[in-house]
Amino acid sequence: GQSIEIGHREGHPFYIYAALDRIENPARGRFGGENGAPGKVALKSGRSLKGKGKQLVPAGDRLVVETPGGGGYGSAADRDAGSVTADRQNGLTK
């Protein structure tokens, strides 16, 4: 997934109208592949937010959205060991 951080330029509070999916149920892997990473929505200060609905980002705080990752296809055991190691080192898999 991708991380996105949003704040008000002048530090004012603002509302978001979230309609985010795959927060609680990440994409499932197929044919032995691992499940994808779940998405996350939170404040920079650390408090988690809901994936749906109107929510306030307080003055001086920032919204952090991490989009979910896709599920894997096929078992890592069926791939070249060097490719599996490279994917892990690059943060693409666990």
Question: How would you write the pLDDT of the chain (94 residues) with one tens digit per residue?
Answer: 799 999 999 999 999 999 999 999 999 999 999 999 999 999 999 999 999 999 999 999 999 999 999 999 999 999 999 999 999 999 888 7
The amino acid at residue 8 is H
pTM of the model: 0.81
Burial of 16 (0-12, 13-18, 19+ CB in 10 A): middle
Give just the sign of the alpha carbon dihedral 34, 38, 44, 46. negative
* Number of other CB atoms surrounding residue 88 within 10 Å: 12
